[in-house]
A and B are shown apart, each in its own frame.
Chain A
Amino acid sequence: MDEIDRKIINTLQTGFPLSEEPYAEVADQLGVSEKDLLNRLSGLLENKVLTRFGPMYDAQKLGGAFSLVAVRVPEGDFHRIAEIVNSYPEVAHNYQRDHDFNMWYVLATETPEKINEVNYDIEQRTGLKVFNMPKLDEYYIGLQLPV
C-alpha cells in the first residue's frame, strides 16, 4: 500500500458523491486518473484491505432490525458453533473475542420479529444460551481510521 492508496482509503471513508461520474470527481480531488482510482480500488477490495465499498444501509430504517448477540461457546466447540451461526444469511458479522463471552454476532433482519426467530433457532441448534443485546440508544456511529 503506497501513499496514493492511503489517500484513497482516507478519502473514501468519509463519503462518495452521487453524481454521473463520481469516480472521475474523486480522482480529480486526489490528483490521479479515474482509471488508476478504479484499478486501485478494485485491488484494495481484492486484497481485503477494504471489506466493502458502496452505500451503507440502515436496516432499522428499512423496516428491519439489527441486534448484537453474545454467546459463551465452549473452547473445543468453537469451530462447529461458528459454522452453524455463520450459516444464517441474517448473520451479517461474527467476531471471536477474548472473553468468557467469546462469540459476538450481528443480526440484520428485515423484520424485528425475525431477530428472536433466528436467535431461538440458533439456541435450539447449538444448545447454548444466546444473549440478545439490541441497541437501546445510539450515541455515535462513524468509523474513520486514518492510515
Chain B
Amino acid sequence: MMNTVATAHKSELEQGALLDEIDRKIIRATQSGLPLVSRPYDDVASRVGISAGEVIARMHTMQQRGIIRRIAAVPNHYSLGYKSNGMTVWDVPDDRVNELGRQVGVLGFVSHCYHRPRYLPDWPYNLFAMVHAHNRDEAMLLVSRIADLLGDADRGHDVLFSQRILKKTGLRLST
C-alpha cells in the first residue's frame, strides 16, 4: 500500500475507517506487548492467519500513518530512579498557548506537552507539561526553567507530583 502525504493528512476519522479487520487483529494480537521470541512477527502472523511479511508490511503502514506511534519499551519511571514525576500545569493566555506549548514541548526534560480545557473557577490551567526528575528539588529546578521561558505569560502555575500508580495498562480494544 502506498503511503502518500495525502494519506498522512487525512482526518483521524478517515484514518480510523481505513483500518480493516486484519489490521484490527494485528492490534489485538500486539496491544499487550510484542512476543519475546526470535521471530515475533511470525508469532503474530500465525495468530492473525497471514504471513509474517504481511504483518510487517501492515505494521509499517500503521507506523507511517501514526496509528502506531512507535514500537518501543515503556519504562517504569520509579524503577529507573525517577521518583519525582510532576505534571506541571500553567495558566497562559489562550491566544498564545500554541506558540508557548511548542516552546515548552521542545525542552529535553518535558515528556508530554498538551493544551487542555480550563474549568473556572476550579481549574484555571490550560497548558500541561510532564517533567521527570530524581527528586523534588531537581523537579522544581525544571519547573523554574519553564517559568523563565514563559515569562509574563505565566499567570499562575502548579505542580502535581504523582504519589502512586493506581493502574497502568496499554490500550485495549474490546472487540
Q: Are A97 and B162 in contact (CB under 8 A)?
A: yes
Known A42-B36, A64-B16: A89·B160 in contact at CB below 8 Å: no
- Name the B residues within 8 Å of A98 (CB-CB): 160-161, 163
Q: Which residues of A contact B97 (CB under 8 A)?
A: 137
Q: Residues of A contacting B65 with CB < 8 Å? A: 61
Q: Cα distance A50–B170 when bound, in Å?
A: 12
Q: Which of B27, B40, B73, B166 contacts A50 (CB 8 A)?
A: B73
| B 37-64 binary contact with A (CB < 8 Å = 1; else 0) | 1111110000000001000100110110
B96-107 vs A: 1/0 string, CB under 8 Å? 011001101110
> If the complex has contacts A52-B74, A94-B167, are A141 and B32 also in contact, measured as CB distance less than 8 A?
no
B3: min CB distance to chain A, Å: 14
Is A141 a contact of B71 with CB atoms below 8 Å?
Answer: no
The answer to whether B114 and A137 touch across the interface, beta carbons within 8 angstroms, is yes
Complex CA gap A48/B168 in Å reads: 11
Contacts of A60 in B (CB 8 A): 12
Residue from B67, B71, B77, B166 within 8 A of A15 (CB atoms): B71
Contact of B115 among A19, A51, A95, A139 (CB under 8 A): A139
Complex CA gap A56/B33 in Å reads 9
New contact pairs (12) apart from A13-B73, A93-B168, A98-B160, CB-CB < 8 Å: A51-B74, A54-B71, A54-B170, A55-B59, A55-B68, A57-B27, A68-B128, A97-B162, A98-B161, A99-B160, A131-B119, A138-B115
What residues of chain A have their CB less than 8 Å away from a CB belonging to chain B?
Answer: 8-9, 12-16, 18-24, 34, 38, 41-42, 44-45, 47-64, 68, 70, 82, 85-86, 89, 91-99, 101, 103-105, 108, 110, 131, 133-145, 147
Residues of chain B at the chain A interface (Cβ within 8 Å): 12-13, 15-17, 19, 27, 30-34, 36-42, 52, 56, 59-60, 62-63, 65-77, 79-82, 87, 97-98, 101-102, 104-106, 110-117, 119, 122-123, 128, 132, 158, 160-175
